[in-house]
Structure 1
């Protein structure tokens, strides 16, 4: 029985490492498109307002 435990420990550790690796490498969306669109609108408004002489 002790030999079986010594065999199961590395197998379980390998499975946990594979699961963690898959989780760490997952594709995460950051939502940058919406933020960049807002920044483009901001730049457009700022360039329009800077062209008016005060």
Structure 2
């Protein structure tokens, strides 16, 4: 019975690894829309800052 208990430990660890990897690789529904919009705002702000320094 002790041997089966020791065999159960790696089996449970493998099952936990499979569950974690499935959770970590799940498809997210949000997408990159918010990140791309933020990057566009950042670029616009940097272009404005760059054009302001050229005028000075």
Cα offsets for 1:2-38 (capped at 9, x unmatched): 10001000001000100000000001122544x44xx
* Corresponding pairs, count: 37
Question: Over aligned residue pairs, what C-alpha RMSD do you find?
Answer: 2.0
Greater helix share, structure number: 2
Unmatched segments (≥5 aa) in structure 2 = 41-56
Higher Rg: 1
With the length of structure 2 as denominator, give the TM-score of the two structures: 0.53
Matched with 1:7 is 7
Unmatched segments (≥5 aa) in structure 1 = 40-54
With the length of structure 1 as denominator, give the TM-score of the two structures: 0.55
Q: Which runs of 4+ in 1 moved over 3 A?
A: none
Q: Distance in 2 between matches of 1:32 and 1:25?
A: 16
Q: Distance in 2 between matches of 1:29 and 1:4?
A: 42
